Amino acid sequence: MKRLLLFAVIVLTALQTYAQKLNIATGIKKSELPVVYLPANISLHFISPGPIQYVDISTKSISGDLPVKNILRIKCLADSAGHPKGPDSDAVVTIVGEKYIAQYRVILSPANGGAVETDIEILPDETRPIDFPGVSLSQEELKSYAALLVNKKPEKHLQKSSAFGIKANLNHIYTLGDYIFVDLGYENGTNLKYEIDELRFKIEDKKVTKATTIQSFEIKPDLVLFNIPFFKKHYRNVFVFKKFTFPGNKQLHIELNEKQLSGRVINLEISYKNVLEADMIPLPQ
C-alpha cells in the first residue's frame, strides 16, 4: 500500500513538472471578458489609442470595418426581411493594436433595452500587452518623441538651400531604436504664402550626367508630426522613417512642391554622412 501511494505521488509530481515545462496557458474565460451591447440598427465603434493591426469577429452575423486606422466599426447584418440577424449567442470581438490585445463579449441589445453606448474607448485595464512583429515603437510613442524634438531650438543647420526667396534647412537628424527623425524647416522671404502640394523624399545618385540613367526611389515617412497645408513665413515639421541606409554615391533628396501651376520647387540634399552622424534623441530624465 505504501509503495502504491509513493508511486502515485511520483506520477503526480512528474505530471506537474511536465505541465510546468510545457507552460500551458489557462486562458481567459468568455464570462470574464468586458461586455458591450450592440444595438440592432446602430453601428458600434471601438476607439483604439493607436492604429489597429488585426481584428477577429467570432460570428458571421456581425460585420466590421476600419473607417480610420484607430477605429473599429461593427454592426448587425440584416436578413432577407430586413431584420437584424444578431449573433446566435454572445460573440467575441478581438482587437490587436501595436502593443496590446483586447477582447470583448458582444451581446445583441434588446429592443427595449434603453440607451446604449455607441462609442467604446479601449482602456488600458481591458488590454494585455503584446510584442507585434515589426513594431518597436507605437505611433503614439513616435508622435510624442517628434513633438519633443520640434519644441527644441535648432542648434545648427546641417544642410541648407534656397530658391525663389525660400530657404530650406535641415535642422537636425535624430535616431531612436529602429527609427530616424528628420527635423526640417523652411523660411519664406516673400510676401506670397506657400501652399504645399507635396513633400517628397527620394534616394538618388549624387552626380548625374546627361548620358546616365537616373537611379531614384522614393521613401515614405512612417509618421509626419503636423499636417500643414501652407505657410506664410515659417514652416517646421518632423518626419519619422524606419531606419534606412544608402551607399556613399547616393544622397537623400528632399523636394518641396507648391500647388500653383507654375509652383516653386525647393530642393534639399542630405548626404549619408548626416544620417550616420544622427544624434540619439535626448530623453527627458
pLDDT averaged over every residue in the chain: 81
The string of DSSP codes covering 195-244 is EEEEEEEEEEES---TTSPPPEEEE--SEES----EESSEEEEEEEEE--
The string of DSSP codes covering 245-271 is ---TTEEEEEEEEESSTT--EEEEEE-
Q: What's the pLDDT score for residue 2?
A: 47
pLDDT confidence bin for 262, thresholds 50/70/90: low
Record the cell numbers describing residue 251, joined without a space: 544622397
What mean pLDDT do residues 160-185 have? 92
Residue 37 Cα distances to 75, 84, 229, angstroms? 11, 14, 41
CATH architecture, range 27-133: Sandwich (2.60)
Does residue 51 surpass a pLDDT of 70? yes
Q: What is the pLDDT of residues 177-214, one digit of tens each?
A: 889 999 999 999 999 999 999 999 998 887 665 555 66
CATH number of 141-280: 2.60.40
What mean pLDDT do residues 155-170 have? 88
Indicate yes or no: pTM above 0.75.
no
Instruction: Check if 27-133 and 141-280 are the same fold.
Output: yes
Higher-pLDDT residue of 246 and 270 is 270
Q: What's the pLDDT score for residue 8?
A: 41
Q: What is the pLDDT of residues 105-140, one digit of tens each?
A: 998 887 666 667 889 999 888 888 876 555 577 888
Q: Where are the domains of the chain?
A: 27-133, 141-280
What mean pLDDT do residues 47-64 have? 90
d(CA 262, CA 255): 15
